[in-house]
Amino acid sequence: MPLPVPTNTHPLFVNISVVAFEMNMPIGCAYNLVSQGKFPLPTYKVGRRSVYKYSDLIDWAEKLSPQLSSPKPELTITSATNVAIKREKGRPSGTTKVDLAAKRKRLLNEQTTKSIVGSN
- Rounded to two decimals, the pTM is 0.47
* Spans of the chain, pLDDT less than 50: 75, 77
What's the pLDDT score for residue 118?
59
Distance CA 61, CA 52 (A): 14
Which residues are CB-neighbours of 11 under 8 A, at least 6 positions away? 54
What's the pLDDT score for residue 58?
86
Which residues are CB-neighbours of 28 under 8 A, at least 6 positions away? none
Closest C-alpha among 30, 35, 11 to residue 19: 30
DSSP assignments along 35-90, one per residue? HHT--SS--EEETTEEEEEHHHHHHHHHHHHHHHHSPPPPP---SS---PPPPPSS
